[in-house]
Amino acid sequence: MTALSERPAASAAPLPTRMRARVGAYVGLTKPRIIELLLVTTVPAMMLAASGWPSWTLLLCTLVGGTFAAGAANVFNCYFDRDIDRLMQRTQKRPLVTGAVTPRAALVFGSVLTVASIVLLALTTTALAAALAAAAIFYYAVLYTMVFKRHTRRSTEWGGVPGAAPVLIGWAAVTGSLDWPAVVVFGIVFAWQMPHFWALAMRFKDDYARADVPMLPVVTTPLSVGRQTVAWSWVTVAVSLLLWPVAADYGIGLGYTVPAVLLGAWFIVEAHRLLGRIRRDVDTKSMQLFHVSISYLSLLSVAIIVDAIV
């Protein structure tokens, strides 16, 4: 009865309001906040590959194509994960759970975004960039979402591959090939994802357990998660310092390395603080490391851009 009584009120809403709600639901499926973070890593890769600013047209087309690709992968993720999302408080308001978007509509939307991203990148950048985008969509939507996330505690490591793919796509969009600096930046973003996502998973451990998702904090002790978080934080910083010798010919020097050292020290200290709180059996405040990790990657990307331009 409640659902029936709500329908007239919904249909009586002004058309602009209903349109905004519908558009907002589709945008929500793409997970815009995640896309923003992915694009943060695309720009420095392009700047490095071009040893400065690439053309504005190339930059814009790559970012739009990358946005479509990341959005498509996230839409498919929401489609395949809708059974899990119903069980997790953090995701219960996603459009497919609330019914704001039907599963069929989401599948069509994801398919349209996939085609649009591949065609746009192929026509305006390079064939390699388009191929990498297609591979990243398939990997994240099928291999990660349907296989690794549901069946292994190492899903974060496996999921780190498509998560770092925008770096390679950005580089390939400029050069049509790949080179060692692109591999190093890819390695930074790949390693960074472990402390970043485990901090989030620690905060929402009960949600993942309720949905029977074997995220690391669900299947092992907090101490083990803390130690692995610290280890991957060190790996992230170590890989970031490789960029200076590897990308010296592309303009990377002290202008990047000094900030990389300082930012890396901050990141590692925060990871150790998390481990310390776990050992003392107090409130872990894991989201503190989560937010620091975002600032770390964003500022490191800025350092790459500035040094490449200067």
Please name each of the domains of the chain with its CATH number.
14-177 (1.10.357.140), 179-310 (1.20.120)
pTM equals 0.91
Eight-state DSSP code of residue 81: T
Q: Give the integer Cα–Cα distance in Å for 18 and 109.
A: 18
Answer whether 68's CB lies under 8 Å from 96's CB: no
Angle (nearest 5°) at CA 69 between 68 and 75: 85
pLDDT in tens, 126-177: 999 999 999 999 999 999 999 999 999 999 999 999 999 999 999 999 999 9
The distance of Cα 203 from the centroid of its chain, to the nearest Å, equals 18
The amino acid sitting at 196 is H
pLDDT in tens, 69-118: 999 999 999 999 999 999 988 888 899 999 999 999 999 999 999 999 99
Mean pLDDT for 241-261 is 93
